[in-house]
Amino acid sequence: MLDKMKKLLVRNTLKTGLAIFATVLAGSSLASTVPQILKEHCNRCHLKEGKLQRIDGLRKSPEGWDMTIARMYLWHKDQGALEISREDRRALVKYFADRQGLAPEEAAPYRFLMEKRPSSQDVVPDEDLAQMCARCHSFGRIALQRRSAVEWEKLIHTHLGQFPSIEYSNLGRDRNWKELALTQVAPKLAKLYPAETPAWKSWKARKHAVPTGKWRVSGHRPGMGDYAGYLRVEASGKDHYQVSYVLNYADGNHMSGTGQSIIYSGYEWRGDAVIGNQKVRSVFALSADGKQLSGRWFLREADEKGASFSAVRDGNEAPASIVAVFPSLLKAGSEAHLSVQGVQLGAAYELGAGIKLLSVTQKNANEVELTVSVAEDAPVGLHSLKAKDSGAEIKFAVYKQFDSVRVEPEYGVARLGGGTIPAVTAQFEAVAYLNGPDGLPGTADDIRLGYVDASWSVDNHDEKARAEQDVKYAGVMETQGLFVPAVAGPNPARKGRSNVGDLSVNATVAEGNGSKRASAHLVVSVQAWNKPPLR
Ligand code: HEC
Ligand code: HEC
């Protein structure tokens, strides 16, 4: 029984394809060497005249390599491709991502896809490419690869061979898909995403920074708020690290944990850790100078739940900086206690016109507490909190009243759950704004003040939703702006329709004697049947 379960587990990991994270046995001594793995798993089909045909010359993100390697067994097992262990697969991803990866600037526009940012929208260079190539998967999956014109053509042939319906399905049958793909799309992609670029050439040639040492971190977790903390990184092998996190949320919650991380392509950090009691994954980029680490971490079982993350070097050698101040939104005519989080902090601060510093308590070089009084007539808008000795600074906001509120994200997607497929929740937040110089809400010069508490509700988005009673069936809006979708499946009460819905999300923010309202759009869609590393 146990054996059977183990086998099932192996199969599942292969399918979902996340070997690039560092959970178990990172750098295990059991692992075979790369030439052995290639010999056992790849050469038979790919090695010809001393070259790995179809492999040499391609460049991909770690996720891209992982998906292709997982695909070899799934698609070509009938021709003799062997199931590959997690460790071997990870070793190959490492090998190829280092030799044939993407330069930081090549991956930058599509990091949101690797970071699994929820409710983010795909970026497509033009409408033709959107119709031809981004109707089954994201365009980002393509833009995170580099290859020659011939290799782009071969990929199109692979599509035609594997998915013949590509020519007959929607946006395929209204045109000569094959001819357009080969004569127009392939050359266009070869220009946009060529195999060889100066960016990769120079990135590959340079010496890469390592992340070992102490870091001072900060970020925002939708639904839970801002946090600041510490990360410690120790080498456990080449490009393999043991890490420990301490995260202190602005609301007083503390969490800590440990894990492992791997760096691919000289900067692509992929980590697994247990923080608090939750298994989390981290997708960060290490800056070229090794001074910053940034990206997103998310729950392993629910990647829509996560937090932005950025880190700077900590310790005596590191430059002074302020990474966060809690709270960062102050009301005119009030007294406030501020917690300043940073590196090499001193005891002297400036807060700008109308704000008086009443007391400073230095806890240590990383944390200082300030008591301030904000005058009734302090200028509203953004202020700078500035360390007098080092010049390090961070923005905070002062308001008398909010001019408007917006809901983020403006357009959210949640997915029904059911059976073995968990629901995908959608987290909303309310953000307060000032109108800015033009005096009008909703324009480009509005000043973003920060997150504010709200009470939440949902409504039917339009007439059709009203007629179908989407609010009643699609799920529940919880108090903190978290929408939890209903279960999937034909619902007899809806004449067999599933519990999908088209909703408006409403936030009401108390303001003085009144309140401000704002809305967003939420689509509650069908289950996420599979969650590939890159959608
Ligand atoms: C049984 C034969 C077989 C084995 C074994 C095999 N491959 Fe493949 N591989 C193929 C075929 C056929 C294609 C072309 C169709 C496709 O892309 O699946 C291919 C395509 C590829 C591509 C190009 C995909 C793209 O991006 O267009 C890569 C990269 C690749 N293989 C890597 C590997 C690696 C690494 C291994 C070893 C873990 C491996 N293959 C093992 C048959 C095999
Ligand atoms: C009919 C649906 C469909 C269309 C249209 C489509 N693809 Fe795909 N594509 C797929 C599927 C399915 C996969 C691989 C399966 C998976 O996700 O594991 C895939 C995989 C890929 C991959 C990853 C392959 C690898 O091994 O790295 C790339 C890159 C890609 N497609 C590019 C394109 C391009 C370029 C176009 C337009 C010419 C395109 N796709 C159009 C369905 C489609």
Tell me what pLDDT residue 37 has.
97
205 lies in some domain: no
**Where is the domain boundary, 399, 420, 451?**
399
pLDDT band for position 6 (50/70/90)? very low
279 lies in some domain: yes
**How crowded is the C-beta side of 351, counted as CA atoms within 13 Å?**
26
- Residue 454 belongs to a domain with what CATH number? 2.60.40.10
282 lies in some domain: yes
Q: Whose CA is nearest to atom 21 of ligand 1?
A: 54
Tell me what pLDDT residue 31 has.
65
Q: What average pLDDT score do residues 381-387 get? A: 97
What is the 8-class DSSP label of residue 69?
Answer: H
Q: What average pLDDT score do residues 90-94 get? A: 97
Answer yes or no: do 521 and 411 share one domain: yes
Answer yes or no: do 376 and 242 share one domain: no
Task: Give the bridge partners for 384, in sequence order.
Answer: 395
Q: Which residues line ligand 1 (CB under 6 A)?
A: 41-42, 44-46, 54-55, 58, 68-69, 72, 75-76, 79-81, 84, 92, 155, 158
Segment among 154-163, 310-319, 367-376, 489-498 with least mean pLDDT: 489-498
| Chain center to CA of 443 | 27
Interval 185-241: pLDDT, tens: 999 999 999 999 999 999 999 999 999 999 999 999 999 999 999 999 999 999 999
Residue 195 tokens, joined: 């195999």
Answer yes or no: do 255 and 161 share one domain: no
Answer yes or no: do 282 and 267 share one domain: yes
Segment among 176-185, 241-250, 487-496 with least mean pLDDT: 487-496
Q: What average pLDDT score do residues 90-99 get? A: 97
Segment among 229-233, 262-266, 418-422 with least mean pLDDT: 418-422
Answer yes or no: do 391 and 418 share one domain: no
Cα 160 to averaged position of ligand 1 atoms, centre (Å):
16
pLDDT band for position 529 (50/70/90)? confident
Tell me what pLDDT residue 500 has.
97
The domain of 341 spans: 321-399
Q: Whose CA is nearest to atom 30 of ligand 1?
A: 55
The residue that leads in pLDDT, 4 or 474, is 474
Q: Which residues line ligand 2 (CB under 6 A)?
A: 64, 67-68, 71, 132-133, 135-137, 141-142, 145, 155-156, 159, 163, 166, 181, 185, 189, 532
* HEC profile of 485-520: ECECCCCHHHCCCCCCEEEEEEEEEEECCEEEEEEE
Tell me what pLDDT residue 17 has.
58
CB 458 within 8 A of CB 477: yes
Q: What average pLDDT score do residues 343-354 get? A: 96
Tell me what pLDDT residue 13 has.
42
Answer yes or no: do 22 and 151 share one domain: yes
Q: What average pLDDT score do residues 100-126 get? A: 97
200 lies in some domain: no
Number of domains observed in the structure of the chain: 4
**Where is the domain boundary, 293, 313, 333?**
313
Tell me what pLDDT residue 341 has.
98
Tell me what pLDDT residue 24 has.
52
Answer yes or no: do 53 and 178 share one domain: yes
Tell me what pLDDT residue 32 has.
85
Per-residue pLDDT for 525 more than 90?
yes
Residue 268 tokens, joined: 């692509």
| Percent of the chain's residues with pLDDT above 90 | 91
**How crowded is the C-beta side of 388, counted as CA atoms within 13 Å?**
8
203 lies in some domain: no
In whole angstroms, give the CA distance from residue 411 to residue 504: 9
Tell me what pLDDT residue 8 has.
38
Tell me what pLDDT residue 19 has.
86
4 lies in some domain: no
Q: Can you count the helices (H) and strands (E) in the chain? A: 15, 30
Cα 72 to averaged position of ligand 1 atoms, centre (Å):
5
Residue 196 tokens, joined: 């060889």
pLDDT band for position 29 (50/70/90)? low
Answer yes or no: do 51 and 165 share one domain: yes
Answer yes or no: do 344 and 415 share one domain: no
User: Strands 381-387, 334-343: parallel, antiparallel or unpaired by DSSP?
Assistant: unpaired
| Percent of the chain's residues with pLDDT above 70 | 95
| Chain center to CA of 345 | 30
Tell me what pLDDT residue 15 has.
52
Choose one of 102, 136, 534 to mutate for the ligand 2 pocket test, by most ligand atoms within 8 angstroms of C-beta: 136
Q: Compute how many other C-beta atoms are within 10 angstroms of the C-beta atom of residue 435.
A: 16
Per-residue pLDDT for 30 more than 80?
no
Q: What is the pLDDT of the chain when averaged over all its residues?
A: 94
Cα 58 to averaged position of ligand 1 atoms, centre (Å):
12
CB 456 within 8 A of CB 428: yes
Answer yes or no: do 231 and 288 share one domain: yes
Q: What average pLDDT score do residues 322-328 get? A: 98
Q: Whose CA is nearest to atom 14 of ligand 1?
A: 158
Per-residue pLDDT for 343 more than 50?
yes
Tell me what pLDDT residue 273 has.
98
Residue 184 tokens, joined: 């127009």
What is the 8-class DSSP label of residue 421?
Answer: B
- Residue 300 belongs to a domain with what CATH number? 2.40.128.120
Angle, vertex CA 142, rays to CA 136 and CA 146, nearest 5: 160
Per-residue pLDDT for 301 more than 50?
yes
Answer yes or no: do 127 and 239 share one domain: no
Choose one of 36, 48, 68, 154 to mutate for the ligand 1 pocket test, by most ligand atoms within 8 angstroms of C-beta: 68
pLDDT band for position 26 (50/70/90)? very low
Q: Which residue matches tokens 């739940």? A: 305
Tell me what pLDDT residue 10 has.
39
Interval 139-172: pLDDT, tens: 999 999 999 999 999 999 999 999 999 999 999 9
**Where is the domain boundary, 263, 278, 313?**
313
533 lies in some domain: no
Tell me what pLDDT residue 12 has.
40
Per-residue pLDDT for 494 more than 50?
yes
Cα 155 to averaged position of ligand 2 atoms, centre (Å):
8
Tell me what pLDDT residue 7 has.
42
| Closest-CA residue to 399 (of 436, 370, 440, 368) | 436
Answer yes or no: do 421 and 483 share one domain: yes
User: Distance of CA 207 to CAs 99, 290, 378, 514, 516, Å?
Assistant: 14, 11, 49, 58, 53
| Ligand nearest to the CA of residue 19, numbered in listed order | 1
Helical pair 62-76 and 86-99, crossing angle rounded to 10 deg:
130
